[in-house]
Amino acid sequence: MGTRTRGFANNITSPSGVFDATDLNGVVPATNLANSSLTNVTEVSPSLGFPITSVASDPPAPSEGQMWYNTTSNTLKGYQFNQDSWASGGNLGTASYSRGTAGTQTSSLIFGGTSGPAYNTNSESYNGTNWTSTPSLNTGRFGVAGAGVSNTSAVAFGGFVTPPAGIYSAATEKFNGSSWTSSGNLNTGRAYLAGCGTQTSAIAFGGSSSPPSTFAYTESYNGTSWTAVNALNTGRQGLGGAGTQTAALGYGGNQNPPRTAATESWNGTNWTSVTSMPAITQNTASFGIQTLALAAGGANVPNTGIATTVQYDGTSWSASANLSTARSSAGGAGTKAAGIVSGGGSNFGGGSVFNSTEELTGGGLTTKTITAS
């Protein structure tokens, strides 16, 4: 850069207006400049924000608001926070509610349920785009629970069976992608229970039987048989469940009466009461893990279905994006990052029964390519 020319206004002293002639040199030496050339600028003060740098690959751990130009893909990118959002998925073949579920957003299974008056043996598989009919359950039922990691590895247990009416089932069935096979029964037959885990390592908790009563019973499944373990602190039906056999979360439900917002955490041995849900809810679509669980929809007072979605981070509950369709007793599967809710009804007892599906894209800090649009 060489030199910088300057004016002499600052050589006028105040208040006398006397001209200071001790420095009449009209140039500033380059050595007096912090950086004599822009080519010597190696960093920008953090107070000025992140500079847009050119890099061959995306930064491994960017900060929120950071931008860069990727010279390999020739794209401008930034690291930003995105909100959770729901989008329409493929419609179920059979509109129904109070069904069991298993799997992920792109590989899920839904089974049983009812659209009134019959209780379904129906089973359907989802590939992330479409639902396809699969072989039926051996025992038709609704209020059934499920567990499993995919649409070819699931287990169904409990529920209210048809006919003879009034039977709360202990039946357990496993699905291998081709057929349902009977397995060891629950120790206590019940409906509207919660379940989570895998086909060979699951947990069942809560539920109810006739005459109306609620259970705190918890049972552990090893792929063959069920074993009674320590009970919930609050017995209830229609509760949500998420997690694994040794790290589960139970939340909401109905104590016949009242409904409850109570949340409990399971460590493989005991249930511990943790922060309650922000609102009293039952028959919510539930999925996720113990430290990142979702409750989508459900019913509160009165029995009308709701669209509210809330999430638990292992410490507290917070609001997430609402469902597009308010619904109760829908099926839920997947994770906070990629979940799915399907079926359900407009109220606790069914009402208008839905075949629609909604897919969740979880928010958070993500890298995004910046375009003109």
- What is the number of helices (H) and of strands (E) in the chain? 0, 37
Please report, as a single letter, which amino acid is at residue 123: S
Q: How confident is the model at residue 51 (pLDDT cuts 50, 70, 90)?
A: confident
Residues 172 and 191: their CA atoms lie apart, in Å, by: 12
Residues 219 and 266: their CA atoms lie apart, in Å, by: 12
Contact 52, 65 (CB under 8 A): no
Please report, as a single letter, which amino acid is at residue 87: A
**Token representation of residue 41:** 């600028």
What's the predicted TM-score (pTM) here? 0.79
Q: What is the pLDDT of residues 114-135, one digit of tens each?
A: 988 888 999 999 999 999 999 9
Q: How confident is the model at residue 242 (pLDDT cuts 50, 70, 90)?
A: very high
pLDDT over 90, % of the chain: 67
Name the CA radius of gyration of the chain, rounded. Answer: 30
pLDDT at 335 (0 to 100): 96
pLDDT at residue 12 tops 70 = no
pLDDT at 1 (0 to 100): 45
Q: How confident is the model at residue 48 (pLDDT cuts 50, 70, 90)?
A: low
pLDDT at 38 (0 to 100): 47
* Total residue count of the chain as it appears in this document: 373
Please provide the average confidence, as pLDDT, over all residues in the chain: 88
pLDDT over 70, % of the chain: 83
* Between residues 52 and 268, the one the model is more confident about: 268
**Token representation of residue 266:** 């399971």
Which domains are assigned to the chain? Answer: 1-36 (no CATH), 85-364 (2.120.10.80)
* Between residues 80 and 151, the one the model is more confident about: 151
pLDDT at residue 31 tops 70 = no
**Token representation of residue 312:** 């638990």
The tally of CA atoms less than 13 A away on the side-chain side of residue 63 is 6
Q: What is the pLDDT of residues 157-197, one digit of tens each?
A: 999 987 655 689 999 999 999 999 999 999 999 999 999 99
CA dihedral 131, 134, 140, 145 (to 10 degrees): -60
Q: How confident is the model at residue 36 (pLDDT cuts 50, 70, 90)?
A: very low
Residues 272 and 250: their CA atoms lie apart, in Å, by: 10
Strands 67-70 and 53-55, how do they pair? Answer: parallel
pLDDT at residue 18 tops 80 = no
Contact 208, 191 (CB under 8 A): yes
Contact 82, 340 (CB under 8 A): no
pLDDT at residue 35 tops 70 = no
